[in-house]
């Protein structure tokens, strides 16, 4: 810009700055505006104050007028001094605040964080709980009201008065040796005040880190819920998500983290609602949960809602004892893995646990029982691989005779050889496939097994989290910020077992090296998983190697070769009915051979 333009803009700025300074409101005008705002708020509350003057009597009168404002909707509950009340039994230490009449913190007794501190599920202003009432033309959240607290034994009553004989009342009752808190909501004398046929209930809180690895807690933490006539579901464990729950009445919802839960069960069921989860960035915070539920309101003189809080561990048996299918929060895997874990693995584990052994020993015995149960499949798998190894020289001759440039014909000749020799080429894979669901079931079982939490074995201080053999101090791609010794041992044992399996099966080419790549990948994946899981896989590898060693002593390659030759010498029944799969395979091979011949 040129000099004249700049000068003009500069003068305009000076004029604007001067106008803000010289035309700003005086102190008297500011006070008058505040007084007008105060009078407007009193009029909205239904109070008509008298005109103030400067006399002392008028000041006293105005103070009396101001007190009338407190007699409006929940007027006496709008201000107060915050105070706490404690409910306590052998399992829980619960702190309630008269502000909002809510539970502000819950300590689970007998449990510690990984750092050895008292285990507190949530605490402080991060926790919000209240009813949203559409009263007197506006929405009032009881989280902002001051309640009057009365304690009798292990029962606490919180009351916020709306007016004469009209109030909101919360009643908390904690029984001995219980993880449940009975919670009743009483709406008395509000039938002409509350508008609509539903009232809202809001509970929002941030759950705190309890375990060594916050990444692991993220992996297994999510809001869960159950429809009255449906199954248990949950929101995402990996990302922020909000879900509207409108497919039916909701029996309960739960703020679940890895090994602990805070749940609210409604005996009348919620009409509908929504759940939200967010992953906070602040250190020491696992997940932020927000629940907004709708309760039916019948406009009776005394509307009562009966509910229950559950605060405690995610131990399967403890949750099952509470009822309402709360135990389905424990992630035992997807179908069919959860049924294997629930009805096979878990009962066997509980039986072994009844002997009060160390959990390292229990995992050892559990692995032995599993391997004994699967030993027939292991034997068939090894025998099939041995047969394929014995046939390999003849397969090499076929490949050399037909030529590598005709793979379709090579495969067809292989199938003829298998048929004559009485060998099933899938015989080694099928037993392994049948074993796979059990192996995968443990991948979900051990990380979600509360019993392993805080239990040590050998150098592993806590079987429910990873053991730190080396801590790098910085995050390394693929590995992380540490190296787990048990995971390394598991990886080395898998590599050794892969080497011997290749010797047995005679694998060559790409198949030979794929077996060495997978254990390295598992090292990066399982390095941050619980030491108990890696310990199981390590034991399984050792026992599989031992089984194969014994089977190898029992299996004679010369006898297998002689048996194959006997089978080859027998006449093949061409009229024997083929399966549909075999017929399609033969047709496909024949078509491929014809196309190859045309080329």
**DSSP H/E element including 32:** helix 27-44
pLDDT at res. 69:
39
Contact 515/502 with Cβ under 8 angstroms?
A: yes
Contacts of 409 (CB under 8 A, 6+ apart): 402, 592, 593, 596
State the DSSP string of 298-367.
---SEEEEEEEEEEEE--HHHHHHH-TTGGGGS---STTHHHHIIIIIHHHHHHHHTTT--HHHHHHHHH
Could you write out the three-class secondary structure of 214-251?
A: HHHHHHCCEEEEEECCCCEEECCCCCCEEEEECCCCEE
State the DSSP string of 366-425.
HHHHHHHHHHHHHHHHHHHHHHHHHHHHHHHHHHHHH-TT-HHHHHHHHHHHHHHHT--T
CA distance 524 to 473: 17
| Residue 288, φ and ψ in degrees, nearest 5 | -105, 125
User: Where do we find the tokens 């002689």?
Assistant: 562
- Mapped onto helix, strand or coil, the DSSP state of residue 173 is strand
Contact 447/220 with Cβ under 8 angstroms?
A: yes
pLDDT at res. 54:
47
Q: Which two tokens stand for residue 52?
A: 């103030």
Q: How much is the CA Rg of the chain, to the nearest whole Å?
A: 36
pLDDT at res. 36:
64
CA distance 457 to 446: 15
CA distance 278 to 222: 9
CA distance 500 to 542: 12
pLDDT at res. 223:
96
CA distance 122 to 208: 6
Angle at 194 between CA 189 and CA 200, to 5 degrees: 115
**DSSP H/E element including 202:** strand 198-208
Name the residue ranges covered by the structural domains of the chain. 24-69, 75-331, 345-569
Phi-psi domain of 251 (left: phi exceeds 0; alpha: psi -120 through 50; beta: other): alpha
CA distance 288 to 291: 10
Could you write out the three-class secondary structure of 493-530?
A: HHHHHHHHHHHHHCCCCHHHHHHHHHHHHHHHHHCCCC
Angle at 395 between CA 392 and CA 396, to 5 degrees: 90
Contact 525/478 with Cβ under 8 angstroms?
A: no
Q: How far is residue 70 from each of residues 136, 402, 559, measured CA to CA in Å? A: 14, 100, 99
- Mapped onto helix, strand or coil, the DSSP state of residue 569 is helix
Contact 172/156 with Cβ under 8 angstroms?
A: yes
CA distance 501 to 498: 5
Closest by Cα among 245, 326, 329 to 293: 245
pLDDT at res. 383:
76
CA distance 47 to 40: 10
pLDDT at res. 60:
44
In order along its 599 residues, the chain shows pLDDT tens digits of 556 766 776 677 677 666 655 666 666 665 666 566 555 544 544 444 444 444 554 444 344 334 433 455 787 888 889 999 999 999 999 999 999 999 999 999 999 999 999 999 988 777 899 999 988 778 889 999 999 999 999 999 999 998 888 999 999 999 999 999 999 999 999 988 888 899 999 999 999 899 998 888 999 999 999 999 889 999 999 999 999 999 999 999 999 999 999 999 999 899 999 999 999 888 889 999 999 999 999 999 999 999 999 999 999 999 999 999 999 999 999 888 999 999 999 999 999 999 999 999 999 999 999 888 888 877 777 777 777 777 777 777 777 877 777 777 777 777 777 777 667 666 666 666 777 888 889 999 999 999 999 999 999 999 999 998 888 888 888 888 899 999 999 999 998 888 877 776 556 666 667 777 888 888 888 999 999 999 999 999 999 888 878 877 776 667 666 766 766 666 655 445 555 655 666 666 667 666 666 76
Angle at 351 between CA 347 and CA 357, to 5 degrees: 135
CA distance 419 to 413: 10
CATH 2.70.98.90 fits 75-331, yes or no: yes
Beta strand 166-174 with 148-152 is unpaired
pTM of structure? 0.76
Q: Which two tokens stand for residue 327?
A: 């135990």
């Amino acid at each position: 810009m040129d000099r004249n333009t700049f000068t003009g803009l500069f003068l305009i700025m000076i004029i604007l700055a001067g106008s803000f300074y010289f035309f700003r409101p005086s102190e008297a005008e500011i006070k008058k505006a505040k007084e007008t705002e105060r009078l407007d708020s009193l009029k909205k509350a239904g109070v008509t104050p008298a005109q103030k003057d400067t006399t002392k009597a008028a000041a006293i009168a105005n103070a009396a007028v101001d007190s009338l404002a407190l007699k409006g909707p929940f007027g006496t509950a709008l201000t107060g001094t915050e105070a706490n009340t404690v409910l306590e039994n052998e399992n829980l230490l619960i702190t309630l605040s008269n502000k909002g009449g809510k539970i502000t913190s819950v300590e689970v007794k007998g449990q510690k964080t990984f750092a050895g501190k008292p285990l507190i599920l949530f605490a402080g202003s991060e926790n919000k709980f209240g009813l949203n009432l559409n009263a007197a033309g506006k929405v009032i959240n009881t989280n902002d009201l001051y309640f009057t607290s009365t304690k009798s034994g292990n029962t606490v009553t919180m009351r916020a008065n709306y007016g004469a004989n009209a109030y909101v009342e919360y009643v908390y009752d904690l029984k001995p040796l219980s993880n449940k808190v009975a919670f009743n909501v009483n709406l008395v004398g509000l039938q002409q005040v509350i508008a609509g046929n539903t009232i809202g209930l809001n509970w929002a809180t941030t759950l705190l880190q309890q375990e060594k690895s916050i990444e692991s807690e993220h992996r297994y933490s999510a809001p869960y819920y159950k429809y009255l006539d449906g199954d248990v579901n949950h929101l995402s464990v990996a990302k922020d998500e909000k879900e509207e729950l409108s497919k039916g009445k909701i029996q309960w919802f739960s703020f679940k983290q890895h090994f602990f839960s805070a749940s609210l069960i409604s005996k009348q069921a919620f009409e509908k609602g929504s759940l939200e989860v967010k992953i906070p960035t602040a250190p020491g915070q696992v997940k932020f949960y927000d629940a907004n539920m709708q309760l039916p309101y019948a406009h009776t003189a005394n509307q009562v809602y009966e509910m229950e809080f559950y605060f405690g561990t995610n131990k399967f048996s403890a949750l099952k004892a509470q009822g309402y299918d709360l135990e389905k929060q424990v992630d035992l895997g997807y179908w069919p893995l959860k049924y294997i874990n629930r009805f096979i693995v878990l009962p066997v584990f509980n039986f072994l646990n009844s002997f009060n052994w160390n959990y390292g020993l229990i995992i050892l015995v559990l692995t032995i029982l599993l391997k004994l149960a699967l030993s027939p499949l292991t034997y068939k798998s090894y025998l099939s691989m041995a047969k394929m190894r014995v046939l390999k020289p003849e397969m090499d001759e076929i490949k050399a005779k037909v030529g590598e440039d005709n793979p379709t014909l090579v495969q067809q000749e292989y199938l003829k050889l298998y048929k004559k020799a009485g060998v099933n080429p899938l015989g080694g894979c099928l037993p392994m496939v049948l074993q796979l669901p059990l192996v995968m079931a443990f991948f979900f079982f051990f990380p979600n097994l509360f019993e392993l939490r805080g239990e040590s074995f050998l150098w592993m201080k806590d079987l429910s989290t990873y053991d730190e053999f080396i801590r790098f101090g910085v995050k390394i791609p693929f590995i992380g910020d540490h190296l787990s010794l048990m995971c390394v041992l598991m990886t080395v044992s898998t590599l050794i077992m892969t080497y011997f399996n290749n010797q047995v099966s005679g694998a060559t080419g790409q198949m030979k090296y794929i077996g060495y790549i997978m254990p390295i990948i598992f090292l990066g994946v399982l390095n941050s998983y619980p030491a108990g899981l890696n310990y199981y896989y390590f034991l399984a590898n050792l026992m599989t190697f031992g089984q194969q060693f014994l089977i190898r002593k029992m299996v004679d390659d010369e006898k297998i070769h002689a048996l194959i030759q006997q089978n080859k010498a027998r006449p093949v029944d061409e009229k024997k009915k083929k399966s549909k799969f075999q017929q399609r395979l033969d047709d496909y091979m024949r078509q491929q051979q014809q196309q190859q011949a045309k080329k």
